[in-house]
Amino acid sequence: MISPETKKIKNVLFKNQNLEYFLNTPLEIQRKDWEDSALDVMLPEGTKVKGERDKNIFVEWISNETSDKQNFILYFHGGGLTQGSCITHRKLASHIVRVVNLPVIIHDYPLAPENPYPAALTYSQQVYLWLLEKGYKAENIIFGGDSSGCGLALALMMQLKNKGYALPKAAFFLSPMLDFTLSGTTMKTSVKLDPVVFEEDLKMTVKYYCNNESPCNPYISPIFGEFGGLPPLLIQVGSGEVLLDDSKRLYDKAKAFGVNVQLDIWDEMWHVFQGWVGEVPEAELSLGKIKEWKESIS
């Protein structure tokens, strides 16, 4: 059973559901609204935010005084590959730093529909290879992501593997969106259980990102890819999500390929509930589970 604090917030989310906003508000306004609200959020005491630019690459380092100096997380933010940025994900990243004790790098990959597939994937590979060229070792990098950012991270790992590049040490995924065909069974069965994600909005995401490419392309929908040789994976997802089936299929398929994979299904929680850390006790607990997992694969 979820905590009383979480139950109250979940009820508010259901009460404030507004599909019309997502379907009818211009994307540039949605992006600005999200960033404006994120700028008002207080980060944990001691958080350091430092941008780094090198030619066409921009990343933001999130750290604190006590975080590990040798290992770090390369984070792939969510937002349907059409929204989101370093700004929108500073809060979640800073709390990951605080709890997991690893610095986090967020990168601003190009967004659709202005930059459809494969722009975000191409840029993300450039960022990863740039880090390796700077002297960072693949075995000291963990991929992390939420929602559609997880699909981007998983697609990148498959692409790196197929091209013969060194893979990151591991990856953790929060409420992953991995199937742009939207064929998961919970897309239908969990409609009334999910206070955050709507199928109609996801269809717009697919249209914007895929452009003229097939959503069956495993670099768009990595659930259809080959997982052999991938590093350890941790998946966290809420039991009421319409995207729950994406996580279940990833777990089953990764396990069948011999990948060290862990699936944590959080009872009654919603899409990327970790973003409510500081308000939702379960979010703090889930970040603690990431820390435990990280230590278990060290």
Query: Tell me: the pLDDT tens digits for 41-87?
Result: 999 999 999 999 998 999 999 999 999 988 999 999 999 999 999 99
Q: Domain limits at 116?
A: 4-296
Cα 2–chain centre separation? 23
In the set 67, 85, 147, 221, the catalytic residue is 147
In the set 190, 241, 282, 286, the catalytic residue is 241
- β-bridge pairing 233-238 and 48-54: unpaired
**What b/e readout covers 20-30, taking b as 16+ CB neighbours within 10 angstroms?**
eebeeeebeeb
Mean predicted lDDT score pLDDT of the chain: 97
**Full DSSP string of 189-213:** HTTTT-SS--HHHHHHHHHHHHTTS
E-only strand ranges, the chain = 48-54, 57-63, 72-76, 104-107, 141-146, 170-174, 233-238, 261-266
The pLDDT of residue 93: 98
pLDDT digits (tens, 9 = 90+) for 242-288: 999 999 999 999 999 999 999 999 999 999 999 999 999 999 999 99
Total domain count, the chain:
1
pLDDT digits (tens, 9 = 90+) for 89-128: 999 999 999 999 999 999 999 999 999 999 999 999 999 9
> If 0-12 CB within 10 Å is exposed, 13-18 middle and 19+ buried, where does residue 155 land?
buried
The pLDDT of residue 69: 84
CATH number, residue 291: 3.40.50.1820
Amino acid at 88: T
Q: Residue 39: in which H helix or E strand, if any?
A: helix 27-39
User: What are the distances in angstroms from CA 176 to CA 10, 24, 62, 221?
Assistant: 20, 25, 22, 11
Residue with tokens 């997502």: 22
* Residue 292's pLDDT band (cuts 50, 70, 90): very high
147 classed as catalytic: yes
Q: Is the pLDDT reported for residue 1 higher than 90? A: no
User: What are the distances in angstroms from CA 168 to CA 120, 143, 226, 273?
Assistant: 18, 7, 17, 25
Query: Hey, how many other C-beta atoms are within 10 angstroms of the C-beta on 200?
Result: 9
The pLDDT of residue 144: 98
**What b/e readout covers 241-252, taking b as 16+ CB neighbours within 10 angstroms?**
bbbbbbbbbbbe
* Residues 285 and 277: beta-carbon distance below 8 Å: no
Structural tokens at position 24: 């009818």
241 classed as catalytic: yes
Structural tokens at position 42: 């207080």
- Rounded to two decimals, what is the model's pTM? 0.98
* Residues 241 and 197: beta-carbon distance below 8 Å: yes
